[in-house]
Amino acid sequence: MKKINKTNKTEKKIRMKIKNIYFLTINIFLTCGMFIAVAAASMYIAGYRFYVIQSGSMEPCIPVGSLAVVSVKYPYEKLNSGDVICYESPLGKSVTHRVVSVSEEGLVTKGDENEISDGILTTQENYIGCLTVSLPHLGFVIDYFSTMRGRILMFFLLLCLLLAEAVSAFFDVGNIER
């Protein structure tokens, strides 16, 4: 009889530790998710936009897969040679390149790895903003979760968390002490 009670107490302690680890993990994920969502929304409101670097034209300064944070409120008139900007190309794609010269007609830009300039004059009309910071490799994560496969993975991870919660609640019903 004493051995059974000792086993039950050990099992209860193990269950409680697992449950505590489980809830701590869920709280960490939810807190991080909320923090990221609030930070991204705040930055958007403050005039920052996020772009994923798709080509190696700015390497090694900005590697492929970096997340570029661009200030859309940075004044076009304050741009100088050496600034990294984001502009919209005639094809409608955003391009992040360095300003190599400034003139009355506009800005001449080129990628750090490119031998020649872009051949496109950046004016106030196609200027998006000035690079504030680039975060290497974070763009790969953003890109992945914006695909159908990434969204399905996120859905199944959330489903697994909900399922684990339901199973945990189901097994706890029988452990109520009287």
71-87: pLDDT as tens digits:
999 999 999 999 999 99
Q: Is residue 61 part of a domain?
A: yes
Residue 101 to residue 108: CA distance in whole angstroms? 5
For the residues 145-155, what does the mean pLDDT come to?
Answer: 87
Report yes or no: 121 and 106 within 8 Å, Cβ to Cβ. yes
Condensed to tens digits (0 to 9), the pLDDT of residues 17-55 reads 877 787 788 778 778 888 888 988 888 899 999 999 999
Using alpha carbons, select from 40, 137, 135, 50 the residue that is nearest to residue 94.
50
Does the residue 102 lie in any domain?
yes
- Helices of type H across the chain: 2-45, 138-145, 148-173
pLDDT at 174: 47
Structural domain harbouring 62: 48-139
| Tokens linked to 63 | 């590697």
pLDDT tier, 127 (very low <50, low <70, confident <90, very high otherwise)? very high
| 21 found inside a domain | no
Nearest Cα to Cα of residue 58 among 76, 84, 80: 84
CATH of the domain at 68: 2.10.109.10
Structural domain total, the chain = 1
Does a structural domain hold residue 5?
A: no
Asked if residue 69 lies in contact with residue 142, where contact means CB atoms within 8 angstroms, the answer is: no
Q: Is residue 7 part of a domain?
A: no
Residue 96 lies in a domain: yes
How far apart (Å, rounded) are the C-alpha atoms in residues 107 and 110? Answer: 10
In three-state secondary structure terms, 133 is: strand
